[in-house]
Structure formats: C-alpha cells, structure tokens
Amino acid sequence: MKTALLTHADCLGHVTPQGHPEQVARLEHILHALEGLDLKRVTAPLAADDDLLRVHPENHIRDIRSSRPSDGFAQIDGDTFMSPGSLDAAYRAAGAAVQAVDLVLGGEASNAFCAIRPPGHHAEAEKAMGFCLFGNAALAAKHALDYHGLKRVAVVDFDVHHGNGTQDLLWDEDRALVITSQQMPLWPGSGRPDETGAYDNVLNIPLAPGTGGAEMRSAYETQAFPRLRAFRPELVIISAGFDAHQDDPLANLNWSTGDFAWITAELCGIADEVCQGRILSTLEGGYDLNALAEATRAHVEELMKAAR
C-alpha cells in the first residue's frame, strides 16, 4: 500500500498579509517538491463540525466562522489572520487530518501526510493563536479514539515551537500521549518538563537554542522513544513542523534535513513495532521555503519507505 498525500487547493486560498511567514508559497513549495512521487493523492474533504466539536466548544467554532472577512484581512490575534479563503482552508486542513485517520485505520493507505495550512498545534480549545485556527492533530487523535474506538493514540510534535494547543486539547485525555519537543526559551513560552498532563500523559522536551542533530537524537532516544514504546499506541500522529531546521528564520535550532529524515524513520520504526505501521503526519510550521520543501520531501520519502 502507498503513502497517502492529502491536500486541497483551498489551503492555498488562506492568504496572509505581505511579509507574513505563514504564507501561501510554503504550500506551493511543498507541493512542487512532492511532484512525481508515487503517492496516493487524496483531495481533502471539509471537516464536519462534529469533528471540530471533539476538541473545540461551539462558541469557538462560531467565533472563527463569524471572523471570516469578505475582503482584506481579519486579525485574530497578534500574528494570526484570516482572509476570505481562510475558513474553507481551515476546514480542509482539519478534514485532511480526519480523513488521514480513516485511510490509515481503514487499510486504504499505509500511512499519510497532510500538506495543509493553516497549521493547528497552537490552537487551544477556545483560542486561535500562532497562525492556527483549529487543532488538526488533536482532533484527528480524538476522531481515532471516539469514532474508531482506539484505546491509545500518541501525538509526537517536533515543530520548533511548543505544541501548546495540542497539549491543551489533550491535557485531560488519558487515552492520548502527547510528546512535544521545542526550543526553550521561545514563543509561546510554555512546554516546561513539569507540564505533564492530567494523567501524566504529556511529555515536554525543551531544547536549548543552538541544539543540533546529535543532541536532538539523544533527547529522543532517551526520553521520547521509550515513553512512546511503553505507551503502545494503536496510531501515531506526527505534528510535522520543519522550523527546527538550521535555515529557519523564526528559531535557533540547528537540525539538518537528514535529521528530519532520521526522526521520521525512527517514528515509523516504532509504529511498525507497536501498531502495524499506522502513522500519519500533518504539516505545522517551517518558514524557510527551500529548507521547508527539502525537509518535507525527506519526511515524505521516509514515510514511503516505511509503507507496506
């Protein structure tokens, strides 16, 4: 079986103001980099409100819907904007994550990558922030638990920023393990090791500015991977941000493209051990266009190598 690639042209319709790092060109570069790969290409559906309601209260969904401008931009917070196309993009992004769960659990794809924007891992239950409107990875996890009836789902977030939204949305979900590494100090400021979730179900791994591949690999080998194996998830969801790359302009970690390939291969290997290789990935950050495209391609190629 193949690796599925889920995306939708609507995700290119989420326009941000000139100079904003979370720009349309990010997805254009990624899609160009993935051209020619032998992937199962899937058009992402719109999420149903029921999918969103698993992690967001109705008033948050209503607020986002009513914030959509008819032209220009609506500013949601200091760095989060909506354009006329943003609502459909957000529903496609969430819909892709949910559909990826269905494809992987339904045996229609070996694993999956969602090339989507806006990203999701900063969106808290009632708060859009950090370029994110809905919590794509968390709502995919809840869909796997509540709709498919899985007993344990893990989310691994290697974006350079703390996945505060995913942590918030799954904080008191004892069927989910959240593992997130992040540069510290860095926006949004959360993600200390003593933030462990209501059921000791959150593992935060802060990394000092300047952390390179060797230290990152050591941190994952000694902290993240043992916890992940011990949890025995039935599905692994990756929040794939590529802004820990050494070329990224928003942060100061020094991972190479090869480091992103390594961590992907390791996570696929653990998924092979514990859950028949069931793993999917959703795009989060990554703001140097060339590094983003290269690292995303390396990530997807490792998913393809692991497909069976």
Tokens of residue 205, six digits = 């791994």
Residue type at 4 in one-letter notation: A
Which residue(s) pair with 41 in the sheet?
5
Question: Under rule CB under 5 A, which residues in 150-169 are in contact with Zn ion?
Answer: 159, 161
Closer residue to Zn ion in complex, CB, 95/241 = 241
Give me the least distance between CB of 305 and Zn ion, in Å please.
25
Chain residue at closest Cβ approach to Zn ion: 285
Question: Under rule CB under 5 A, which residues in 183-222 are in contact with Zn ion?
Answer: none
The yes or no reply on residue 51 touching Zn ion (CB under 5 A) is no
Q: Is 1 exposed, middle or buried (0-12, 13-18, 19+ CB in 10 A)?
A: middle
Q: How many CA atoms lie within 13 A of 208 on its CB side?
A: 3
Stretch that binds Zn ion, among 95-103, 169-177, 202-210, 282-290 (CB under 5 A): 282-290
Give me the least distance between CB of 150 and Zn ion, in Å please.
27
The yes or no reply on residue 241 touching Zn ion (CB under 5 A) is yes
Give me the least distance between CB of 296 and Zn ion, in Å please.
14
| Coil/strand/helix, residue 112 | strand
Closer residue to Zn ion in complex, CB, 191/277 = 191
Give me the least distance between CB of 264 and Zn ion, in Å please.
17
| Residues carrying an active site annotation | 122
The yes or no reply on residue 243 touching Zn ion (CB under 5 A) is yes
Q: What's 168-231 look like in SS3? A: HHHCCCCCEEEEEEEECCCCCCCCCCCCCCCCCCEEEEEECCCCEHHHHHHHHHHHHHHHHHHH
Tokens of residue 25, six digits = 């060109």
Give residues in contact with Zn ion (CB under 5 A).
159, 161, 241, 243, 285
